[in-house]
C-alpha cells in the first residue's frame, strides 16, 4: 500500500471542502469497500482518507410519507427500524439478505449506494484490461470468467455488476439521494443517480469529486401494498445475488393497481424495470402477466458464456417474487 494521510473532521462542510480540493482524497465511512480496495487489493491509491464517521449524518426520521435516512446509518440500524419493518418490508428483507451481521454493523447506507463492483478483474491491479480502472484499456471480464456479472446495461466495454441488495428496493421506491458539495446541496432520484457504463465505465454516478451523500429519502409504500425481495444464489447465505428482484404490488380485486419492480444481480446499475411495471399496472395478477412482465424486463440482455443462464434465471426470479407478493400459486 502507499502511505496516505488520515483525517477525521467533525463537520460536513469541512469534510466536503477537504475532499473537493484534493483529487487524491476519498471519504471513509464503514470502510467495508474502501479498505479492500486500498489495503488488500491495491487498486485504489489515496493521498488522503477523510473519515466521516463523526459527521452528524447518522439516524432515521419519519415524515408523513417518507423515511429520511442519514447516510451514515448502518445497514443493521436501518433493518431494525420499525417503520421499515412496517411500511418497507422488502427493504428490510434486502438488507438482511446482504453481507453478514458483522459487515452490516459497519457498512453504511451511503456507502452501500456507492459500493464498487466485485468484478475480480477490476479488483486485481495485475489485470491490465479494465476500462473501469484504466479507461480505454479494455475489459478482461468479457472474455474471462464471468458469472457474477451484469447482463443488463452491460456491453463489451464493461460487464461489471452493481452488487447491492439494498439499492434494488430503493430504486423501485423512487428513493432520492441528497447530496452536498462545495457549491451547495442538491437532490437526485436514485434511478437517475447511476450512470450506465457506456464508453466510460469509470464514471459510475453523477457525483462530482468531493460531493457527499448526506441523506437518502425513501418514500413509504401505501399501507395496503405488499412487497418482497427474492435473492437467488448458490450459497445459502453471505453471497452476492446471481439474480434478485424487489417487488411491491397494490392489488385491488385481482387487478394490479400499482406495481414497483427492480432487479439486482443482473445490472451494471440497480435496475428499475419500468416497462415491466407498465405491463403489470392494470393487468390481472396471474402467472401469464408475471411471465410477460419478466420477458419485458429482460429484453435485450448482453450476455457472455458465463452469464447466459442468468437471463432465464432472472425471469423466473421475477415471476416467483410476483407470485409470492401477490399470493398467486405457480
Partner 1 sequence: MTVVTANKLLGDPVDRVDGPLKVTGAAPYPSDVTYPGLVHAVLVQSTIAAGTIRSIDAADAEAAPGVLAVITHENAPALAEGPMTPLLGPAPPSPLKDNRILHHGQHVAIVVAETLEQATAAARLVRIDYEETAPVLGIDNPEAAVLRNPWGLETQRGDAAAALASAEVVYDETFAIAAGTNNPLGLFATVARWEGDRLIVHESTQWPTMARQTLATVFNVPENDVQVLVPYLGGGFGAGLRTWPHAILTALAARLVDRPVKLVLTRPQMFTSVGHRAETTQRLRLGATRAGRLVAIDHVGTSTLGAEAANMEFISIETGAAYACPNVATHDRQVRLNIPSPGWMRGPGSEGNFAIESALDELSYTLGIDPLELRLRNYAEVHPQSGLPWSSKALRECYRVGAERFGWTRRTPEIGSMREGNWLVGYGMAGVTFGGAQLPCQVRVSIRRDGSAHVRSAATDIGTGTYTVATQLAAELLGLDIGQVRVEIGDSDLAPAPPSGGSSLATSLGGAIRDAAGNLLRAFLNVLAEDHRSPLQGRRRDDVTAADGRIHLVDDPSVGETYSDILARHELDELAADGEINPQADGAGMAPSGPFAARFAEVRIDAELGLLRVARIVSAVDAGRILNEKLARSQIIGATVMGIGMTMLEETIFDPGSGRIANATFGDYLIPVNADVPDLDVVFVGEPDRFSPIGSKGLGEVGIVGVSAAIANAVYHATGRRIRSLPITIDQLL
The nearest distance, CB 234 to partner 1, in angstroms, is 5
Residue numbers 34-73 binding partner 1 by CB under 8 A:
40, 42
Residue 9: CB partners within 8 Å, gap ≥ 6? Answer: 15, 18, 50, 51, 52, 54, 55
Q: Is 124 exposed, middle or buried (0-12, 13-18, 19+ CB in 10 A)?
A: middle
Q: Which of residues 102-141 bind partner 1 (CB under 8 A)?
A: 118, 120-121, 124, 126-127, 140
Nearer to partner 1 by C-beta: 138 or 181?
A: 138
Does position 302 interact with partner 1 (CB under 8 A)? The reply is no
How crowded is residue 3: how many other Cβ atoms within 10 Å of its Cβ? 6
- Nearer of residues 223 and 235 to partner 1, judged by Cβ: 235
Using CA atoms, how far apart are residues 279 and 155, in angstroms rounded to an integer? 26
Closest CA relative to residue 266, chosen from 235, 294, 290, 237: 294
CB 97 within 8 A of CB 229: yes
Minimal distance in Å, beta carbon 58 to partner 1?
Answer: 26
Per the listing, cell 385481482 goes with 254
With vertex at residue 321, the alpha carbon angle to CA 103 and CA 216, rounded to the nearest 5 degrees, is 45
Q: Which of 71, 78, 91, 148 binds partner 1 (CB under 8 A)?
A: 148
**Closer of 48 and 316 to partner 1 (Cβ):** 316
> Of 302 and 309, which has the nearer Cβ to partner 1?
309
Q: Is 151 in the site for partner 1 (CB under 8 A)?
A: no
Asked if residue 235 binds partner 1 (CB under 8 A), the reply is: yes
**Binding-site string for partner 1 from residue 258 to residue 297, where x marks contact by CB under 8 A and - marks none:** ----------------------------------------
For 17, 60, 178, 212, the CA distances from 71, given in Å and listed in that order, are 18, 9, 9, 9
Residue 107 near residue 164, CB atoms below 8 Å: no
Q: Does 246 bind partner 1 (CB under 8 A)?
A: no
- Residues 170 and 216: beta-carbon distance below 8 Å: yes
Q: How far is CA 196 from CA 87, 182, 261, 265, 320, in A?
A: 30, 26, 19, 15, 27
Distance between start and end Cα atoms, the chain: 53
Nearest residue (CB) to partner 1, 36 versus 51: 36
Q: What DSSP designation does 40 have?
A: I
Closer to partner 1 at the Cβ: 3 or 223?
3
213-232 positions binding partner 1, by CB under 8 A:
232
Of positions 5, 10, 65, 312, contacts partner 1 by CB under 8 A: 312
Q: What residues between 180 and 209 interact with partner 1 by CB under 8 A?
A: none
Residue whose CB is less far from partner 1, 60 or 313: 313
Minimum CB distance to partner 1 smaller for 234 or for 253: 234
| Binding positions for partner 1, rule: CB under 8 A | 1-3, 40, 42, 118, 120-121, 124, 126-127, 140, 143-145, 148, 232-239, 242, 309, 312-313, 316-317, 319-320, 330
Amino acid at each position: 500500500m502507499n502511505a496516505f494521510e488520515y483525517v477525521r473532521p467533525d463537520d460536513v462542510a469541512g469534510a466536503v471542502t477537504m475532499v473537493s480540493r484534493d483529487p487524491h482524497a476519498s471519504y471513509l465511512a464503514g470502510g467495508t469497500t474502501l479498505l479492500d480496495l486500498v489495503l488488500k487489493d491495491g487498486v485504489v491509491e489515496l493521498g488522503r482518507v477523510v473519515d466521516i464517521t463523526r459527521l452528524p449524518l447518522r439516524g432515521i426520521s419519519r415524515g408523513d410519507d417518507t423515511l429520511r435516512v442519514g447516510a451514515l446509518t448502518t445497514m443493521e440500524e436501518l433493518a431494525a427500524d420499525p417503520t421499515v419493518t412496517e411500511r418497507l418490508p422488502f427493504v428490510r428483507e434486502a438488507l438482511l439478505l446482504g453481507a453478514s451481521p458483522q459487515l452490516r454493523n459497519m457498512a453504511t447506507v451511503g456507502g452501500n449506494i456507492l459500493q464498487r463492483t466485485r468484478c475480480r478483474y477490476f479488483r486485481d491491479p495485475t489485470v491490465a484490461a479494465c476500462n473501469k480502472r484504466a479507461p480505454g484499456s479494455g475489459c478482461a471480464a468479457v472474455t474471462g470468467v464471468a458469472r457474477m456479472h451484469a447482463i443488463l446495461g452491460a456491453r463489451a466495454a464493461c460487464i461489471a455488476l452493481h452488487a447491492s441488495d439494498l439499492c434494488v428496493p430503493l430504486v423501485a421506491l423512487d428513493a432520492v439521494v441528497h447530496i452536498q458539495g462545495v457549491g451547495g446541496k442538491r437532490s437526485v432520484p436514485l434511478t437517475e443517480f447511476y450512470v450506465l457504463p457506456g464508453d466510460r465505465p469509470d464514471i459510475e454516478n453523477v457525483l462530482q469529486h468531493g460531493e457527499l451523500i448526506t441523506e437518502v429519502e425513501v418514500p413509504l409504500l401505501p399501507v395496503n401494498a405488499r412487497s418482497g425481495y427474492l435473492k437467488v444464489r448458490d450459497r445459502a447465505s453471505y453471497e452476492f445475488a446471481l439474480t434478485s428482484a424487489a417487488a411491491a404490488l397494490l392489488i385491488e380485486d385481482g387487478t394490479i393497481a400499482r406495481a414497483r419492480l427492480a432487479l439486482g444481480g443482473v445490472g451494471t446499475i440497480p435496475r428499475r424495470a419500468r416497462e415491466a411495471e407498465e405491463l403489470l399496472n392494470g393487468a390481472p395478477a396471474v402467472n401469464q402477466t408475471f411471465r410477460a412482465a419478466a420477458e419485458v424486463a429482460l429484453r435485450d440482455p448482453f450476455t457472455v458464456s458465463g452469464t447466459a443462464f442468468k437471463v432465464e434465471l432472472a425471469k423466473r426470479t421475477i415471476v416467483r417474487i410476483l407470485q409470492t407478493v401477490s399470493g398467486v400459486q405457480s
